[in-house]
């Protein structure tokens, strides 16, 4: 049965009343329009028109007519909505002339996946998705008071934080997303949901839904969930470590594995690592796309700062976890959950594939704690650092041909424009720290 007919039959069989048509702006915010299910067949055929000039990074007012075309393969019932009578579908964006819109982040990842496919690869990703749960005040506004006092892998009396994770796992299991685990993270009020790997486009679609589910379930239980990378000074921030591999189309071969290779890694794996390291500074603005992202990327809080790789060392930017054969994978540790997953996966893949194309050899793995090295030791070993601020990351990105080619001119220029505005606004702020530190003495 064709996909469209199957979806429409399911809408009728499940008694769906409303369908949300969803997509993302370039910053990673979910955009949505709700239609009654009776209008869904028409939407599948013609899409839904919207004003692109009102979406961040999409279009100017002169070229604002856009159309969101549902991808029926992404249709999903939303059991976390009241009564399970709602569904969502993710859209591809088209211009008024019927062409794919080059400013659609999903299209950027689709193009990169096609490039990988031409090279014989299916790019799989599996994220470790961290977030904080905070209590609400008497007016229902979020506070910075964590929902608990737990630490890494802590298990204690059942509280509503545990119930939040259990409910999220239940919903994602029910809809076939196969979540692997949920646990408490290092900081108080910090939690993690791990999703089983899938091809990167499917995974980006799932992350878009995961963000919505986490926030919806948290609010239902009286909490505010945030993906802000560093909401609290002095404790660990939230990352999105991304496990990634290159597989054959039938899933029977992992191109990162070579039983006779060094560390049992193939040349493709080592060159992929080489690409990720070589272009790490250029991709940082997308992988860590907010001013606050760089408050997480500081020494001392288990977040990567230095551009190295390792097999065991968790202070490295890239780690090769245990497991070989089909389980061989690389873990990139600097992305955070506040970004746009379509763009994040696209630039990771672009950097890795470029490493394969250029046969970029990675340096030797560094298996000792880089944080405890001196500056001179790191300099001697040729260990570079990630950008220290959004401003530095944007400056590096602005000169990157890889980023311009991967994102396309439209998103490249719009992303830089929007983010330069954010950086300049932040740079002009006078913070509480400055007042308390300098006002009494200057």
The per-residue pLDDT for 137 is 92
Among 171-185, 195-209, 248-262, 347-361, which is the least confidently predicted range? 171-185
Assess whether 65 carries a catalytic annotation: no
- Ordered domains of the chain (ranges, CATH): 3-101 (3.10.20.70), 111-400 (3.30.590.10)
Strands, DSSP E only, in 270-344?
A: 306-310, 316-319, 330-332
Assess whether 81 carries a catalytic annotation: no
| Tokens standing for residue 186 | 């290092």
The per-residue pLDDT for 52 is 84
Assess whether 331 carries a catalytic annotation: yes
The per-residue pLDDT for 60 is 64
The per-residue pLDDT for 375 is 86
Assess whether 432 carries a catalytic annotation: no
High-pLDDT (> 70) share of the chain, %: 97
Query: Which residues have CB under 8 Å from 144's CB, separation 6+?
Result: 134, 231, 232
Tens of pLDDT, residue by residue over 290-305, are 999 999 999 877 789 9
CA distance 212 to 218: 10
Among 150-154, 234-238, 251-255, 423-427, which is the least confidently predicted range? 150-154
| Tokens standing for residue 294 | 């760089």
Tens of pLDDT, residue by residue over 334-391, are 999 999 999 999 999 999 999 999 999 999 998 888 888 888 888 888 899 999 999 9
CA distance 324 to 169: 27
Q: Which of 130, 167, 199, 282 is catalytic?
A: 130
CA distance 254 to 316: 23
Q: Which of 192, 199, 258, 336 is catalytic?
A: 192
Confidence of residue 148 (pLDDT cuts 50, 70, 90): confident
Question: Which 3 state secondary structure label does DSSP give 293?
Answer: helix
Q: Which of 25, 128, 148, 205 is catalytic?
A: 128
The per-residue pLDDT for 162 is 82
Assess whether 219 carries a catalytic annotation: no
CA 54 to chain centre: 23
Residue that has been written with the tokens 């969502």 in this structure: 88
Average pLDDT over residues 165-177: 87
Query: Is it the case that residue 172 has pLDDT exceeding 80?
Result: yes
Average pLDDT over residues 303-321: 90
Confidence of residue 1 (pLDDT cuts 50, 70, 90): low
Among 49-58, 211-220, 238-247, 382-391, which is the least confidently predicted range? 49-58
Q: Which of 209, 333, 336, 414 is catalytic?
A: 333
Confidence of residue 81 (pLDDT cuts 50, 70, 90): confident
Query: Is it the case that residue 230 has pLDDT exceeding 70?
Result: yes
The per-residue pLDDT for 10 is 93
Q: Which of 150, 147, 151 is nearest to 160 (CA)?
A: 147
Q: Which of 30, 5, 35, 7 is nearest to 20 (CA)?
A: 35
Q: Which of 148, 185, 205, 336 is catalytic?
A: 185
Q: Which of 46, 51, 424, 434 is catalytic?
A: 51
High-pLDDT (> 90) share of the chain, %: 74
The per-residue pLDDT for 62 is 54
Among 32-41, 298-307, 407-416, which is the least confidently predicted range? 298-307
Using the 8-state DSSP alphabet, how is residue 339 labeled?
Answer: S
Confidence of residue 159 (pLDDT cuts 50, 70, 90): low
Query: Is it the case that residue 73 has pLDDT exceeding 70?
Result: yes
The per-residue pLDDT for 103 is 94
Confidence of residue 264 (pLDDT cuts 50, 70, 90): very high
Q: Which of 241, 243, 271, 329 is catalytic?
A: 241
Q: Which of 39, 314, 409, 427 is catalytic?
A: 314
Assess whether 13 carries a catalytic annotation: no
The per-residue pLDDT for 111 is 98
CA distance 113 to 353: 11
Tens of pLDDT, residue by residue over 108-122, are 999 999 999 999 999
Is pTM beyond 0.75? Reply is yes
pLDDT mean across residues, the chain:
92
The per-residue pLDDT for 61 is 53
Average pLDDT over residues 6-24: 94
Assess whether 422 carries a catalytic annotation: no
Assess whether 221 carries a catalytic annotation: no
Tens of pLDDT, residue by residue over 87-103, are 999 999 999 889 999 99
Q: Which of 199, 205, 331, 336 is catalytic?
A: 331
Q: Which of 125, 123, 146 is nearest to 136 (CA)?
A: 146
Question: Which 3 state secondary structure label does DSSP give 62?
Answer: helix
Assess whether 180 carries a catalytic annotation: no
CA distance 274 to 269: 9
| Tokens standing for residue 357 | 């194309």
Query: Is it the case that residue 314 has pLDDT exceeding 90?
Result: no
The per-residue pLDDT for 227 is 96
């Amino acid at each position: 049965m064709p996909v469209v007919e199957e979806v429409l039959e399911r809408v009728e069989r499940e008694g769906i009343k409303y369908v949300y048509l969803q997509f993302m702006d370039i910053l990673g915010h979910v955009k949505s329009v709700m239609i009654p299910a009776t209008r869904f067949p028409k939407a599948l055929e013609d899409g839904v028109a919207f004003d692109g000039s009102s979406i961040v990074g999409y279009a100017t007012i002169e070229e604002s007519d856009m159309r969101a075309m549902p991808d029926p393969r992404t249709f999903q019932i939303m059991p976390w909505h009241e009564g399970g009578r709602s569904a969502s579908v993710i859209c591809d964006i088209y211009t008024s002339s019927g062409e794919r819109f080059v400013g659609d982040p999903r299209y950027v990842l689709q193009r990169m996946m096609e490039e990988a496919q031409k090279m014989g690869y299916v790019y799989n990703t599996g994220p470790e998705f961290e977030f904080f749960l905070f209590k609400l005040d008497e007016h229902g506004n979020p506070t910075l008071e964590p929902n608990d006092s737990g630490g890494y892998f802590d298990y204690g009396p059942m509280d509503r934080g545990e119930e939040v994770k259990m409910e999220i796992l239940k919903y994602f299991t029910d809809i076939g997303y196969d979540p692997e685990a949920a646990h408490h993270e290092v900081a108080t009020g910090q939690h993690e949901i791990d999703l089983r790997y899938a091809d990167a486009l499917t995974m980006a679609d799932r992350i878009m839904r995961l963000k919505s589910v986490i926030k919806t379930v948290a609010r239902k239980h009286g909490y505010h969930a945030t993906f802000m990378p560093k909401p609290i000074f002095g404790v660990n921030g939230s990352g999105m470590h991304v496990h990634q591999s290159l597989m054959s189309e039938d899933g029977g071969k992992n191109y990162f594995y070579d039983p006779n290779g060094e560390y049992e890694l193939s040349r493709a794996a080592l060159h992929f690592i080489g690409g990720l390291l070589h272009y790490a500074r250029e991709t940082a603005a997308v992988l860590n796309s907010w001013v606050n992202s760089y408050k997480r990327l500081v020494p001392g809080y288990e977040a990567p700062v230095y551009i190295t790789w390792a097999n065991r060392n968790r202070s490295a930017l890239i780690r090769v976890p245990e497991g070989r054969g089909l389980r061989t994978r690389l873990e990139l540790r600097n992305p955070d959950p506040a970004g746009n997953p379509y763009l994040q996966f696209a630039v990771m893949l672009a950097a890795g594939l470029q490493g394969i194309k250029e046969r970029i050899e990675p340096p030797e793995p560094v298996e000792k704690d880089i944080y405890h090295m001196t500056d001179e030791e790191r300099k001697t070993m040729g260990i570079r650092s990630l950008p220290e601020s959004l401003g530095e990351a944007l400056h590096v990105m602005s000169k990157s041909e890889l980023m311009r080619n991967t994102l396309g001119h439209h998103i490249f220029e719009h992303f830089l424009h929007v983010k330069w505005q954010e950086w300049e606004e932040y740079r002009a702020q006078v913070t509480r720290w400055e007042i308390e530190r300098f006002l009494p003495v200057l």
